[in-house]
Each structure stands twice: as structure tokens, then as C-alpha cells.
Amino acid sequence: MGTTIPLPSEGIVLGIETSCDETSAAVLRGSELASVIISSQLFHSKYGGVIPELASRAHLKTIIPVIEEALAQANVSVKELTAVAATNTPGLMGALLVGVNTAKGLALSLGIPLIGVHHIEAHIFSALLEAEKPELPFLALVVSGGHTMLVIVKAVGVYTVIGKTLDDAAGEAFDKVGKMLGLGYPAGPVVDRISKTGNPNFMRFPRPMIYETSYDFSFSGIKTSVLYYLRDHPEVITTHLNDVAASFQQAVVDVLVTKTIRAAKEFSIRDIVCVGGVSANTALRAALSEEASKTGRRFLTTRPMLSTDNAAMIAMLGALKLEQGLTDTLALSSQARSPLSTIQ
């Protein structure tokens, strides 16, 4: 049996997330999610990607109304807050600064602790927002727009990264292939949806590094293979769009699931947690769940709405850090980059 993670039992923590293109605030009461508001900056889609300066300006406009709405939905007054947590790394610098400075203002004026939170570490603990919780040690497959890694989580703050992508992140591959298929940005959710009526065996795209002993990943080869296939068979965009999407998705899912299950076996870990935007993917969830149960393991994740960026996970990790006395001063800085391996 694993060890239960000690959950925050009291206090009302406000979480703030502004690292990329979602402005989000959430209220956590003890370890129960009381509210979460996510305002997505949809206007970036017409540029085919996030424009950093526009993201910062949009965060500035929406952060206060989003916090007010989160407090109202939780039926909590600002004076009842016992701590405030904000993403301070990694992310777009201007965007991070909006959330961190708002959190500093609240901490200073209310006289409550401030906690800076690592965005990827917070994705990992998004699994604790659900009723069925992982036990330690667990294996986390982090699959998001900017990251793909396998992490052994031994305790809050104690991690071993056993593998990561050498090039594109899984979400990036979904977005780039989706763009080639004319599905807009971000394309992950659309690829997921149309793949449901597609044939995953229509075309066999490569499964890079699937049987290599290392736990690293590489997704740019799959993307290039789709590119060449579409160049040579442009007609499939109209005749077999769903089949090509499903075939691409199957290649990514096969690699992720095969390596994750192998790692769980090698390190004798029972609980497998999948988090980050791509963990919302229906095929990935189904395959991980099936393969985990075949070997007597548990597959855990969070609800799809909390797979992508949100402040509920920031409040959760903030509360867990607060339990450990890990608070920050008003000198808390924002950093565009900081690998998870540096947190220990």
C-alpha cells in the first residue's frame, strides 16, 4: 500500500493562474474546491498561437473580475482568505507578472501568506482535486502544451524526472498536426473529437523511441511523417480527415502508454497519474486506464476541465506548500523558465 498525501484540512486559499492564455482564479476550502473560474483568451486563435504582449494585456483586464467571480461563487469574502497562491513559473513573463503582482497586493493588504507555485508541479497535483486520490509514490505522466515528462513523485516537493521529450511536447504535436489538417488552434480537442469517428489503423505513422530503454520521448518525427503523408496524398484532407487524425492520435497514445506502463513496472509503482492539457484526451485516458488495470495498477486523473490551465490546481499546491510552511516573501520573482528537476 502507498502512503496517503496529507491534505490541507483547514484554511481558505485563493489560487491565481495567468502563465499563458487562461486567466483563472479558484477558491479552495480545506481540500475541497469551492469555485474555479477560467477565462480563456480565445482571440489568439486567429494568429495560430499565443501572442505574449496581447496575453498580458488581456490578463490585466480580466484578473480582478475573475477573482471577484471566484469569491462570489464560493460565497467567500476577500477578508476570509487565509492565503493566496499564484503561478510564478514557468510561463510568459508579462503574463506571470500580472498574477504574481495581484497576489502580492492581496497578501500585503490582507496580511496573509503568499505562495509562489510552479505551474507544472501544480498540474501534477491537479489529481488531488478529485475524490479518488493517488497515493505515494506515484508515477505522473505530464502531457501539456509545453511539456511531456514522466515523473516519480515521492512526496510534495520530492520528484525524480525519469524522462522527457527531446523535441516537441505532446500538446504541441497535436496543435501542429491539427494545423496541417486545417483544424485551427489549439487543435488538440478537435483532433480528439473527430478521431472518435476515424479509423486509427488507416495509416501507420511512426512510434518514435517506443522500445528504447530510456523514458525520453520524441514527437517531431510523427509530425513530420504526417506532413510528408499529406504532401503526397493531399486528397485525404477531404476524403479521410477523421481517419488521418485518428491514426496520428493513435501513434502518440501508443508511445505515451507503452512507456508509462513500462516505467510503472520497472519502478514497481501502483498509481499512475496523467495530467496536463493532453490528459483530457479520450483515447489516452481509455488506453491508460485499460493498460493500468491489466497489471493491477490504478489510473488517476482529473476532470477534463481541470486538465488544461486552471487556478484550482494552483490553490491545491499552494495549500499543500502552506501545510509545509513553504511561503514566500513579497520579493517573490517570476521566471519564464525553471525545470521541474530544480525543485527539490
Ligand X SMILES: Nc1ncnc2c1ncn2[C@@H]1O[C@H](COP(=O)(O)OP(=O)(O)OP(=O)(O)O)[C@@H](O)[C@H]1O
C-alpha span between 114 and 287 (Å, rounded): 39
175 binds, among Mg ion, ligand X, none (CB under 5 to 8 A by kind): ligand X
Instruction: Give the other-Cβ count within 10 Å of 292's Cβ.
Output: 22
Could you give the CA distance from residue 96 to residue 23 in angstroms, rounded to a whole number? 10
Which of 309, 314, 317, 340 touches Mg ion (CB under 5 A)?
A: 309
Place of cell 515521492: 154
Amino acid making up residue 341: S
Q: Which of 118, 147, 176, 297 binds ligand X (CB under 6 A)?
A: 147
In 145-284, at which residue ranges do the beta strands (DSSP E only) sit? 148-155, 158-164, 271-275
Of the pair 147, 207, the CB lying nearest Mg ion is at 147
Q: Residue 342 half-sphere exposure, CB side, CA atoms within 13 Å?
A: 8
Query: Between 29 and 119, whose beta carbon lies closer to ligand X?
Result: 119
102 binds ligand X (CB under 6 A): no
Q: Choose among Mg ion, ligand X, none what residue 186 binds, the Cβ cut-off being 5 to 8 Å by kind.
A: ligand X
CA distances from 21 to 145, 195, 277, 312 (A): 11, 26, 13, 16
Q: Length of the chain in residues, anyone?
A: 344
Options 144-152, 222-230, 290-298, 332-340: segment touching ligand X (CB under 6 A): 144-152
CB count within 10 Å of CB 328 equals 20
Q: Which of ligand X, Mg ion, none does residue 134 bind to, with CB < 5 to 8 Å depending on kind?
A: none
Question: CB nearest ligand X: which residue?
Answer: 277
Q: Any contact of residue 29 with ligand X (CB under 6 A)?
A: no
The site for ligand X, by CB under 6 A, has a size of 22
Closer of 121 and 309 to Mg ion (Cβ): 309
Interface stretch with Mg ion, choices 85-93, 144-152, 174-182, 248-256 (CB under 5 A): 144-152
144 lies in the site for Mg ion, by CB under 5 A: yes
Q: Which of 8, 99, 208, 277 binds ligand X (CB under 6 A)?
A: 277
> CA–CA separation, 194 vs 240, rounded Å?
11
Asked if 142 contacts 124 with a C-beta cutoff of 8 angstroms, the reply is: yes
Q: Interface mask (CB under 6 A) for ligand X, residues 37-76, using x and -?
A: ----------------------------------------
Query: Of these, 8, 116, 189, 198, which contacts ligand X (CB under 6 A)?
Result: 189
Phi and psi of 256, rounded to 5°?
Answer: -60, -45
Site string for ligand X, 159-178 (x = CB under 6 A): ------------x--xx---
Rounded distance, CA 307 to CA 277, Å? 5
